[in-house]
């Protein structure tokens, strides 16, 4: 067999359409969410989106796709093969959503400044990239020392509340645009039946959803769940076309880094998301190896980390990642060319302002079924890729994330109501319930919930395996996080919920809650587990697992 991997093969086009649609949906999400939630409208908002964020995303996507294509050629030459498929790569959907909802939106709500929200997003993206790059050297050790249930259940919790739930609601809110694409996606990924002539299901879904959005208003009332598309918006978007070179923004990042009080509270979001990106990418490398392409771990993860760092330094708030699904692209017959094509196409639309035109023509609801599928897969994987005995641990890890979702919905409802604030309600009666759910309980579970998910799931998995001393160590980690304020502690002022670290004074007029009691509770966990560990050492027959 020839050791030369062709630059382009016929089936690279199939792989390109699938990967490009995935990336296009991310770009449309960035535009829609940044405009609607982060105030990036008008002249200044357009500058941030189309002259800073999207060109920065182009830098990272082009560099990463070309690097992974080169890596595929290198592996083909090394092993004397011509059937190597490059690792799929693009914008990280979970990080995109988490950084918008938990970093950029809170900053915009607090300051009213889209520019400040953007800069904080840059800090989050840079932090994630640094963790991803450094993690490339220790990823294997992290994976070996952390129960898989602890990592995957956390992602599943995020997927249920902040990915799948949001877009599921969106689908049924706009059924005449979103349900037909949803049916196509279910055929593509549930039934796994290919469309005629090998047309990618994602492309079919977006085209059908777009057609429904433009044509059905002439047939049925908008009140049935239709979207009224605006031809004038297309004209305005066409006027925004141009050529926008990436801009180095290291100076802006450095200025904000010199004010740690502004960003340190977001470390409880940035650090775990960076770690999860490392583990997620590592798992996708393992998936590629199972499909027959054994890429070296450290360089593969380092490319991803450097791609995310370059995104931040050139204006994008959104990390990149190695995508799930390498075996699928390999099954299509794609090789390295699909990765190169994706990088070039995404770069072209980002640097020319074409994303605005696509956004005005293609409604977000036409493509959200693809993102919903990602949420479904993440959730399903948490149970499928862990030992059957650890399923209860996965379930335990879901609770804090679901509570965080409930807290987000509740806080948003208070903002919209415009009457009493959460602070006023809690000042009047700390144990106030909403349909049976404690407001205070939701708030303390939401703070640093990504850590809480991982800690509770890890403790549960280790106890299932009767590793009491290891469970005690994780309990001590939980006590440390609660004690310093990374988890559970909060301060609320009106409807604004903020972090409350042990070394910081509460804001003037805010209602504080230090998590000292919860930290002590975790320590009691540890003491009980240690005591029982010694008890079981004296009675070793008790630790024999039954199968």
pLDDT greater than 90 at residue 539: no
When pLDDT is cut at 50, 70 and 90, the band that residue 274 belongs to is confident
Percent of the chain with pLDDT over 70: 92
- Is-contact 447 489, C-beta < 8 A? yes
pLDDT greater than 80 at residue 368: no
Average pLDDT score, the chain: 84
pLDDT at 1: 42
**What's the token pair of residue 49?**
């989106």
**What's the token pair of residue 282?**
């590592």
pLDDT at 365: 79
Percent of the chain with pLDDT over 90: 29
pLDDT greater than 70 at residue 223: no
pLDDT greater than 80 at residue 339: yes
Least confident of 109-118, 190-199, 308-317: 190-199
- How far apart CA 259 and CA 264 sit, in angstroms, is 9
Domain ranges of the chain: 12-386, 390-543
DSSP lists the bridge partners of residue 321 as: 90
Q: Are strands 437-438 and 433-434 parallel, antiparallel or unpaired?
A: antiparallel
- Is-contact 322 308, C-beta < 8 A? no
**What's the token pair of residue 429?**
């009666």
pLDDT at 543: 63
pLDDT at 545: 52
When pLDDT is cut at 50, 70 and 90, the band that residue 222 belongs to is low
Least confident of 162-176, 196-210, 219-233, 383-397: 219-233
Higher pLDDT, 28 or 90: 90
pLDDT at 445: 83
pLDDT at 3: 56
pLDDT in tens, 93-124: 778 887 998 799 989 988 999 999 999 999 99
Least confident of 148-162, 168-182, 443-457: 148-162
When pLDDT is cut at 50, 70 and 90, the band that residue 436 belongs to is low
Higher pLDDT, 474 or 148: 474
- How far apart CA 132 and CA 78 sit, in angstroms, is 26
**Overall average pLDDT of the 85-90 stretch:** 92
pLDDT at 65: 96
Q: What is the SS3 assignment for 259?
A: coil
pLDDT at 350: 93
Higher pLDDT, 305 or 194: 305
When pLDDT is cut at 50, 70 and 90, the band that residue 285 belongs to is confident
Residue of 243, 336, 202 whose CA lies nearest to 55: 243
pLDDT greater than 70 at residue 444: yes
Q: What is the SS3 assignment for 315?
A: coil
pLDDT at 536: 85
- How far apart CA 155 and CA 158 sit, in angstroms, is 5
pLDDT at 547: 42
Higher pLDDT, 154 or 319: 319
pLDDT in tens, 463-485: 998 899 999 999 999 999 899 88
Higher pLDDT, 114 or 454: 114
Least confident of 256-265, 293-302, 407-416: 407-416
Largest CA distance in the chain: 78
Torsion of CA 499, 155, 201, 26, to 10 degrees: 30
């Amino acid at each position: 067999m020839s050791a030369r991997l062709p630059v382009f093969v016929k089936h690279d086009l199939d792989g390109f359409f699938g990967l490009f649609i995935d990336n296009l949906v991310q770009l449309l999400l960035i535009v829609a969410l940044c405009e609607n939630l982060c105030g990036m409208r008008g002249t200044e908002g357009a500058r941030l989106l189309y002259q800073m964020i999207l060109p920065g995303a182009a830098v990272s996507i082009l560099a990463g796709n070309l690097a992974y294509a080169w890596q595929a050629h290198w592996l083909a030459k090394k092993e004397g093969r011509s059937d190597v498929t490059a690792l799929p790569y693009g914008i990280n959907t979970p990080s995109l959503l988490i950084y918008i909802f938990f970093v950029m939106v809170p900053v915009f709500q607090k300051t009213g400044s889209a520019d400040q929200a953007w800069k904080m997003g840059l800090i989050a993206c840079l932090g994630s990239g640094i963790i991803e790059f450094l993690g490339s050297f220790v990823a294997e050790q992290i994976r070996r020392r952390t129960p898989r249930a602890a990592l995957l259940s956390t992602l599943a919790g995020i997927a249920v509340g902040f990915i799948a739930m949001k877009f599921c609601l969106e689908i049924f809110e706009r059924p005449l645009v979103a349900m037909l694409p949803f049916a196509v996606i279910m055929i593509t990924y549930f039934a796994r039946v290919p469309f005629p002539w090998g047309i990618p299901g994602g492309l079919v879904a977006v085209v059908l959803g777009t057609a429904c959005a433009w044509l059905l208003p002439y047939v049925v009332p908008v009140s049935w769940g239709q979207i009224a598309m605006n031809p004038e918006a297309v004209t305005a978007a066409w006027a925004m076309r141009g050529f926008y070179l990436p801009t180095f923004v290291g100076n802006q990042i450095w200025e904000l880094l010199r004010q740690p009080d502004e960003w340190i509270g977001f470390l409880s979001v940035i650090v775990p998301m960076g770690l999860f990106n490392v583990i997620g990418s590592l798992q996708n490398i393992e998936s590629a190896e199972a499909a027959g392409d054994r890429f070296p771990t450290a360089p593969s993860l380092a490319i991803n980390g450097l791609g995310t760092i370059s995104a931040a330094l050139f204006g994008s708030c959104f990390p990149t990642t190695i995508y799930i699904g390498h075996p699928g692209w390999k099954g299509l017959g794609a090789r390295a060319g699909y990765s190169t094509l994706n990088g070039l196409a995404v770069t072209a639309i980002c640097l020319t302002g074409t994303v605005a035109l696509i956004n005005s023509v293609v409604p977000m609801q036409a493509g959200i079924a693809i993102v919903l599928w990602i949420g479904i897969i993440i959730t399903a994987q948490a149970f499928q890729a862990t030992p059957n005995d650890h399923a209860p641990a996965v379930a335990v890890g879901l609770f804090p994330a679901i509570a965080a979702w409930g807290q987000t919905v509740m806080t948003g409802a208070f903002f919209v109501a415009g009457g009493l604030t959460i602070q006023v309600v809690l000042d009047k009666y700390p144990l106030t319930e909403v349909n049976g759910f404690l407001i205070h309980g939701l708030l303390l579970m939401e703070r640093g919930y990504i850590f809480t998910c991982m800690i509770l799931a890890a403790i549960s998995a280790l106890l299932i395996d009767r590793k009491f001393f290891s469970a005690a160590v994780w309990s001590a980690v939980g006590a440390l996080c609660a004690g310093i304020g990374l988890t559970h502690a909060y301060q609320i002022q009106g409807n604004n919920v903020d972090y409350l670290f042990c070394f910081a004074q509460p804001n003037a007029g805010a209602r504080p809650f230090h998590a000292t009691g919860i930290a002590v509770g975790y320590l009691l966990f540890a003491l009980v587990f240690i005591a029982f560990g010694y008890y079981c050492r004296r009675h070793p027959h008790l630790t024999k697992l039954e199968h």
